[in-house]
Amino acid sequence: MGWYLLRRLGAAVIVVLIASVVVFLGVRALPGDPAVVLAGENPTPQVIASIREQYGLDKPLPVQYFDYLKHLVTGDLGQSTQDKLPVSQILANRIPVTLELAVLAMLVAIVVGVLFGTIAAARRGKFSDYTATGFGLLGLSVPHFWLGLLAILLFAVKLRWLPASGYVPFSENPAQNLERMILPAVVLGTGFAAVLMRQTRSAMLGALSADYVRTARSKGLSGPRVVGVHALRNSLTTVVTVLGLQLGGLISGAVVTEQIFVIPGFGKLTVDAVLTRNYPVIEAVVLVTVVGYIVVNLLVDVAYAALNPRIRLAGATNG
């Protein structure tokens, strides 16, 4: 398993490097000149030139890239062109907010998706199956922003159960924090719950018709044990894969959800940075996203190994 992880880790570093090149070039390929944006109304060419010089935008691209890489390694992500704060500090403020939202949404998705997917599969063709599948289809089809607005209308405006928007840090007041995070987390988690439900259901249907499930029944085990231990354990690989794949969607979903609920997270930062051509922030945001993806994929690989003895033990004999 150690060797297996080391190989995955090596691959991850290479991917991050490639990603940094793509990010670097991609941002510079965007139409529009940040120096012009920064210079304000009616700038003189001298002002623009001095801004270019200040941010190193006058140097050749390879030089700019290696400067960027050098700073990256030391944790210096540059300075936001808008509020002049270090990008690393901005990220440190924003990432935990989105991380909390993402984790809560994932929890909603896992609990709802896996539970109802399993029930639907175990009761295939019965009322509960059709109900779960129907809600799944609905959850997939409904866009985040619409669901978010509806949720605000119902729970905040009509029923007045929960606040409509805003953010309180968890460290400041956990109760108020959760109160404000519940709606966004449920809204963001719904789509993933639906995807996870459908995938869990189909994986479980496969597992439930497997020979080893018949063996488990022949041992006299209870229905919940046959379904929840023998079949579910073999479906978890699918669940983990889907979770990993969905994380990209979670980030883009967070962008929309954070806008609706006015949460000062990573998603909102992304939108604001793109709108103001805040190069250093955009680069950092994209790079963090890439690293996030890679970390998740690494975790998925670790989970595979933990779940599947064939992978785990193959690694052991190789290394």
Q: Residues interacting with another protein, by CB under 8 A?
A: 210-212, 214-222, 230, 233-234, 307-310, 313
Burial of 188 (C-beta count, 10 Å sphere; 0-12/13-18/19+): buried
- The least distance separating another protein from the CB of residue 12, rounded to whole angstroms, comes to 27
**Residue with Cβ nearer another protein (203 or 294):** 203
- The least distance separating another protein from the CB of residue 316, rounded to whole angstroms, comes to 11
Structure tokens at 78: 């540059």
List residues bridging with 86 in a β-sheet: 79
**Residue with Cβ nearer another protein (83 or 211):** 211
Dist CA 103 CA 257 (whole Å) = 14
**Residue with Cβ nearer another protein (93 or 241):** 241
Dist CA 88 CA 265 (whole Å) = 14
- The least distance separating another protein from the CB of residue 96, rounded to whole angstroms, comes to 35
- The least distance separating another protein from the CB of residue 115, rounded to whole angstroms, comes to 20
How many helices, marked H, and strands, marked E, lie in the chain?
14, 0
**Residue with Cβ nearer another protein (8 or 217):** 217
**Residue with Cβ nearer another protein (26 or 309):** 309
- The least distance separating another protein from the CB of residue 231, rounded to whole angstroms, comes to 9
**Residue with Cβ nearer another protein (6 or 229):** 229
CB 148 within 8 A of CB 185: no
- The least distance separating another protein from the CB of residue 58, rounded to whole angstroms, comes to 60
Structure tokens at 36: 């012009």
Dist CA 294 CA 18 (whole Å) = 12
Dist CA 208 CA 195 (whole Å) = 20
CB neighbours (10 Å) of residue 206?
14
Structure tokens at 1: 């398993």
**Residue with Cβ nearer another protein (118 or 190):** 118
Residue 231's contacts (CB-CB under 8 Å, 6 or more residues apart) are 121, 204, 207, 208, 210, 213
- The least distance separating another protein from the CB of residue 211, rounded to whole angstroms, comes to 4
